Structure 1
Amino acid sequence: MLGLAAVVAACGAGPAFAGPSGDGALDAAVAAFWAASTDDEIAAATAAVLATDPGIEAIWGRLRAGRAYARDVPTGRRLLARENRDGVEHGYVLRVPEGYDPAARYPVIVYLHGGVSRPKREDGTWWRREERLARDDAIVVAPASWDESLWWQDSQIENLAGLLDDLKRVYNVDENRVHLIGISDGATGAFYHAMKATTPWATFLPLNGHPVVLANPASDVDGAMHVTNLRNKPLFVVNGGRDPLYPVASVLPFMRLFQQAGVFLDFRPQPEAGHDVSWWDDEKPAMDAFMREQARRPLPSRLSWETERTDRYNRAHWLVITELGAVAGEPDLDAHNTVLDQTSGLPLGINMIGQMVDGSGLRVLEVGPDSMASAAGMVNEDTIVEVAGTAAPTVEDLRQALIGFAPGQRIPMVVQRGGERIDVMLDYPAEAAPRGRQAFPHTLAPGRVELDQQRNTVTAYTRGVRRFTLLISPEQFDFTQPISVVVNGVTAFDGMVEPDVATLLRWAATDQDRTAMYGAELHIEVPPAP
């Protein structure tokens, strides 16, 4: 198999610079910088740019413009491979639209396959019916995972990041429309990357997976899972009601936990589906719309990130956690790490429903005994005609009303029985709450930072973090004015920040991202709170 580096070589010394003109030496140095791929090449190219002694304005515009992409690049389906730093080769299938236009920025959709406990395959057959993944409007990538490089391990964080960098060097990628879809084990992988390596991704679409796999010591997961890290990106989740591995009933407690933690979640249970994609054609338009509507914000004004280490897993966009440890007076931020055991407590009791043909509501086919529904007075064959003020409810309306239903809450409903409309109140008694259990094990004490940026003021709340670094972009902050950072109610920094060309080049080389570049680093020590 051949890697994309060979394509760069075949197209010439590297893509020409596509930015402001007027300084030939700087233009040539920036072109070489964008063409560099190895650590040594990047170091040499960075030194060459710095040797021209450019001002921040001159270099910024050139980096922001990015590469000039060649038209004569390979399209269609290709079987390729790339090497991680340890020399292990990771194969992938690349599909580039035949009508690829280098002047347009293309979304990228990365598909993670299931069945990763098998030995390594090198023939590109790791995704069934792969031909249906091909698109005219996006670049599609189907990388490989196997029993020695699982989706939920460091090797795949490195692999996927490197793969995206390789793509950006050859094809005009829309950095803010890079989506990660996974099925079965691949879905578990999507949950993993959302919690450990969020920065490059716009959305995550886990299909037929289960987060609980990441809590199992036998899964050989690298790192600990932190639910609040999911706040940073939207999730589109599908599970089958008859799935023998990960049925909706077992996944739902995690979906409720995620929603309570403030995660943007579109959960779409398929009641009759097993561990299959029988629903694919019905849900594909919704998945496409989700990806189309949910572009990544490269410089989000709000971030929440938690990590148990600072040598990896410690960055989300412009936040880097650099030292862990408790600080006096820090707030007790909720870990959101408890799922409820739905086999305990009082059951809902709306066990089986059907949509009325005339669209008037939902027919209750079975009400469970000793349940919330039976306590509310509901009986078999009632028709739910209103849920929480929504008339003629659909299954989706009922699902949305119930997904966050918690002890101590009530949902008003109206049912029709024998031609009579009857008000009922679905009551979740506080004393009937199911028992809780830990969602994910934490063997190391983690630290978390929550940021809210408004103009040149950053408000942060921390737990278990002594130091963190903010990457400052002039597209997010005004460098001509002081920047203020308030941590746990105490001002930790208030002053001017000077842009630095070396910092700009270092992060540009790291991220390969024209839409998120950083001109300065601001190192913050968390002060004790009074």
Structure 2
Amino acid sequence: MKKTLLLMLFAFLFISAKAQDYIAMGDSCFKTKNYLCAAQNYDLFLAKVESRSNMIAYKSAKAWAMAADKERTIAAIKIYVKNNYENDYPIFSNRLIKERAFDLVKDDERYKNILAAVIAKENTIKAEEKNKADSIVAFQALLEKEGLLNKLDLDKGSAIETYNRIKAYNKYPQLKHETISLQFKITDSLHTAFLIVLPKDYDAHKSYRLLFFLHGAVSSNTGYPDYADARDTSGWNRYYTKYATINKVIMVYPMGNRDYNWMYPDNGFYIIPAMLKQIKQVINVDDNRVFISGHSNGATGSFSYAIKQPSLFTGFYGFNTRPRVATGGTYIRNLLNRSWFNVSVDQDYYYPPAAHDSLDKVMKGLHADYQDHRYNGFPHWFPQFNESEPAYKLLFADLTMRKRNPFRPNISWECDDVKYGRCDWLSITALDTTTAAKAAWQKPINFRINKWVVLDKEAKAHIVDTMMNGFVYRKRSGAVKAAYSNNIFNIETSDVGAIRIYLSPEMVDFKKPVAVTINGKQRFKGKVIYNKQFMTDGFEATLDKAALWVNYIDIVVKPKI
């Protein structure tokens, strides 16, 4: 579905253009070492567009310093300091100290006093943050004592009794705070923090939809915060807050960084599923209504979970997305198992609108549950603009109508790494890409990108010619097509060495035999019983009460003779 937002307000266009022109002209002047011109344009932006911008205030101070104007440098630094505090970014002394341009004023008593005051305030804030982090750790320890796994005795009772107790569990702690910061353990020596925002009047006896928001610019973030505050709920994310509140959706804001994130490298990809498990310990989440959204790198991350590891999630959303998997092949047919809701713009340097149009045609050809909503006249930072609100309204309207079915009767799945070989009840457990013949239906899907958006020195968007594929396939992959009905599983494979079928009483009748046919040959027929150890091990790994797998069938596609 393609929706184009027509911008009718000339006044808005004029102001938006002026805002970008001031910054673009300032940047252009700075690059040509016309520092006076740069400083004047940055100051015009602060005076006429956004007086609270700490980024532009910093650029102004640096430009005045490079122009060797001490008085205006001091004045601009004061504005930069004020704007940092107004925007709730109180830790910035290193930027003042390390900026060589400010050597111009380093011996000025006024600058010394400014820097001393900034450092003193930082030290106070850091002490407060340490106390806050310590209290958060203490709160988290008490909260986790009330966790699901501490209350639900999985050793007690038969397999069927345990299955029923897990399905019926509803003894979550009642929480008094709407915003909760928790720490997430990355390694034995590293942790990060994430923020949970509960609906108003959260009732621990009711289950709620949950939406992860994955931020962008992961490569520029190197920190490991001790706690997460409410800053993520405002600014660019203000409409998540607005519509999550209206629709009683739990919002979760993880913090990724250069080394551990949802896009690249792969060693941080486990974090969101693991974080979901941690949340489910103490918060009543509707297992069949868990979603992921994101912006820029975060949108690419959301798309990657849809392609690589969708089982725990219901649907996926992305603003200003580059739809690709950065760590392997982008096996686009995998989207047939879930939904993808895309928000694109026509001036995005991250991924061009023509490429989104090409992908849209591919997805329509596959009859995928795929939407692309186009908004013209906007750059990559679309969420910054108030005109982005209709997209969020559509997103939450879509989200509230969706429910995961982990027992869907048909699955199509492809992977080049068995670490990401599973979707719901079917898993590719071994590839056979050296001896097996690729099936005719396992054809790679791709399209050409011939146009790209680039920004010139004045940050204006231009269309240029290019030649590249939409997707890159570096490894040979294996694929399966599977369906079941009336206790019979029919599976086709291509370049696959082995599979596993996960079984649930919501899929098959355990009183009757189960049959499995692979590539036209029956490979299994027999009765299957509840396997309590397998069931509880699987549940402890995810805390997914809605998708409880009570046994499995392993089959080698080409057994040795």
So what's the TM-score if we normalise by structure 2? 0.66
Residue 499 of structure 2 is matched in structure 1 by 468
1:480–1:4 CA distance, 2 compared to 1 (3 A): farther
| Worse-superposed segment, 489-498 or 130-139 | 130-139
Alpha-carbon separation, structure 2, partners of 1:235 and 1:331: 27
1:479–1:524 CA distance, 2 compared to 1 (3 A): same
Residue 220 of structure 2 is matched in structure 1 by 118
Question: In 1, are the aligned partners of 2:491 and 2:517 still within 8 Å (CA)?
Answer: yes
After superposition, residues 119-518 of structure 1 pair within 5 angstroms as 119-121=221-223, 122=225, 124=229, 129=235, 130-134=237-241, 135-136=244-245, 137-152=248-263, 153-212=265-324, 214=325, 221-275=326-380, 276-277=382-383, 278=385, 279-310=387-418, 312-325=419-432, 331-341=439-449, 438-518=469-549
Counterpart of 2:271, as a letter, is: N
1:245–1:127 CA distance, 2 compared to 1 (3 A): farther
> Residue 272 of structure 1: CA displacement?
2.4
Residue 55 of structure 1 is matched in structure 2 by 158
Work out which of the residue numbers 518, 525, 529 in structure 1 matches 2:556.
Answer: 525
SS of the counterpart of 1:332? coil
Work out whether 1:101 is the aligned partner of 2:213: no
Question: In 2, are the aligned partners of 1:331 and 1:488 still within 8 Å (CA)?
Answer: no
Question: In 2, are the aligned partners of 1:470 and 1:521 still within 8 Å (CA)?
Answer: yes
> Residue 455 of structure 1: CA displacement?
2.5
Cα-to-partner distance string for 1:162-215 (whole Å, 9 max, x where unaligned): 111111111100111111111111111111111111111111001111125x4x
1:523–1:331 CA distance, 2 compared to 1 (3 A): same
Question: In 1, are the aligned partners of 2:146 and 2:172 still within 8 Å (CA)?
Answer: no
> Residue 274 of structure 1: CA displacement?
2.1
Counterpart of 1:206, as a letter, is: G
Alpha-carbon separation, structure 1, partners of 2:282 and 2:136: 7
Work out whether 1:84 is the aligned partner of 2:186: yes
Question: In 1, are the aligned partners of 2:490 and 2:517 still within 8 Å (CA)?
Answer: yes
1:120–1:450 CA distance, 2 compared to 1 (3 A): same
Residue 146 of structure 2 is matched in structure 1 by 14
Cα-to-partner distance string for 1:423-453 (whole Å, 9 max, x where unaligned): xxxxxxxxxxxx9964333332211111111
**Structure of larger gyration radius:** 2
| Worse-superposed segment, 456-465 or 236-245 | 236-245
Counterpart of 1:93, as a letter, is: L
Cα-to-partner distance string for 1:252-308 (whole Å, 9 max, x where unaligned): 222323333442101111122222133422222211111111211122221122121
Work out which of the residue numbers 162, 165, 172 in structure 2 matches 1:69.
Answer: 172
> Residue 334 of structure 1: CA displacement?
3.0
Counterpart of 2:431, as a letter, is: L
For the aligned residue pairs, the C-alpha RMSD in angstroms reads: 2.8
Counterpart of 1:270, as a letter, is: Y
Question: In 2, are the aligned partners of 1:473 and 1:517 still within 8 Å (CA)?
Answer: yes
SS of the counterpart of 1:273? strand
SS of the counterpart of 1:97? coil
| Worse-superposed segment, 453-462 or 254-263 | 254-263
1:190–1:69 CA distance, 2 compared to 1 (3 A): same
Counterpart of 1:267, as a letter, is: D
Counterpart of 2:321, as a letter, is: G
1:5–1:173 CA distance, 2 compared to 1 (3 A): farther
> Residue 126 of structure 1: CA displacement?
6.2
Alpha-carbon separation, structure 2, partners of 1:337 and 1:437: 14
Higher strand share: 1
Cα-to-partner distance string for 1:382-437 (whole Å, 9 max, x where unaligned): xxxxxxxxxxxxxxxxxxxxxxxxxxxxxxxxxxxxxxxxxxxxxxxxxxxxx996
> Residue 462 of structure 1: CA displacement?
0.8
Question: In 2, are the aligned partners of 1:80 and 1:92 still within 8 Å (CA)?
Answer: yes
SS of the counterpart of 1:271? strand
**Which structure 2 residue ranges, 5 or more long, are not aligned?**
1-132, 453-465
Alpha-carbon separation, structure 1, partners of 2:469 and 2:396: 34
**Which structure 1 residue ranges, 5 or more long, are not aligned?**
17-30, 35-44, 215-220, 345-434
1:4–1:177 CA distance, 2 compared to 1 (3 A): farther
Question: In 1, are the aligned partners of 2:428 and 2:498 still within 8 Å (CA)?
Answer: yes
> Residue 103 of structure 1: CA displacement?
1.4
SS of the counterpart of 1:499? coil
SS of the counterpart of 1:506? helix
So what's the TM-score if we normalise by structure 1? 0.70
| Worse-superposed segment, 437-446 or 61-70 | 437-446
1:497–1:437 CA distance, 2 compared to 1 (3 A): farther
Alpha-carbon separation, structure 2, partners of 1:466 and 1:485: 16
Residue 347 of structure 1 is matched in structure 2 by none
Counterpart of 1:187, as a letter, is: A
Counterpart of 1:226, as a letter, is: Y
Q: How many residues align?
A: 400
Question: In 1, are the aligned partners of 2:437 and 2:495 still within 8 Å (CA)?
Answer: no
> Residue 4 of structure 1: CA displacement?
8.5
Question: In 2, are the aligned partners of 1:253 and 1:342 still within 8 Å (CA)?
Answer: no
